[in-house]
């Protein structure tokens, strides 16, 4: 499917770019000036994920958060860093720390979703 450039996509990308945190659909919608439907935002975000522009994080609240891929390597494990969720201000950010792990024999790791929960620098 060929991609088309639309006001919606530009608005969503713009908001994500302006933020140094991962954002939920809800947060993105509130931050955007123009009115965009919930379903559309999800569709656009998932498209960005497919295209490797954005990555999705499932937080420990079970919700989806989205963040711009700033320095994600396009390797086998593109999003190979920890995420941090502040239990005070609830924000989620990408940490520079890479995830290192070891798995038992014959397990194959394709991707991961790793979140540390605690107090961020502003809240501790």
Partner DNA sequence: TTATTATTGCAACTTAATCGCAATAATAAT
Partner DNA sequence: ATTATTATTGCGATTAAGTTGCAATAATAA
The residues of the shown chain that bind its own copies, judged by CB under 8 A, are: 58-64, 82, 84, 87, 95-97, 99-121, 124
**Binding of DNA at residue 6 (CB under 7 A)?**
yes
Site string (80-109) toward Zn ion, x via CB under 5 A: ------x-xx--------------------
Three-state SS for 104? Answer: coil
**Binding of DNA at residue 24 (CB under 7 A)?**
yes
Rounded least distance, CB 113 to DNA, Å: 13
Which residue number, 21 or 31, has a Cβ lying nearer to Zn ion?
Answer: 21
Q: 113: left (phi > 0), else alpha (psi -120 to 50), else beta?
A: beta
Q: Which residues contact 25 (CB under 8 A, 6 or more apart)?
A: 38, 41, 42, 45, 64, 66
**Binding of DNA at residue 55 (CB under 7 A)?**
no
| Rounded Cα–Cα distance for residues 30 and 107 (Å) | 42
Residue 117 site contact among its own copies, Zn ion, Mn ion, none (CB < 5 to 8 Å, cut-off depends on kind): its own copies
């Amino acid at each position: 499917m060929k991609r088309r450039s639309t006001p919606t996509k530009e608005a969503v990308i713009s908001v994500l770019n302006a933020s140094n945190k991962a954002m939920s659909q809800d947060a993105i919608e509130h931050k955007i000036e123009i009115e965009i439907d919930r379903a559309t935002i999800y569709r656009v975000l998932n498209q960005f994920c497919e295209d490797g522009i954005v990555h999705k994080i499932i937080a420990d609240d079970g919700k989806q958060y989205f963040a711009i891929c700033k320095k994600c390597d396009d390797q086998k494990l593109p999003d190979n860093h920890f995420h941090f969720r502040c239990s005070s201000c609830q924000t989620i950010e990408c940490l520079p720390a890479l995830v290192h792990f070891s798995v038992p024999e014959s397990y194959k790791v394709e991707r991961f979703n790793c979140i540390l929960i605690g107090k961020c620098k502003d809240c501790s």
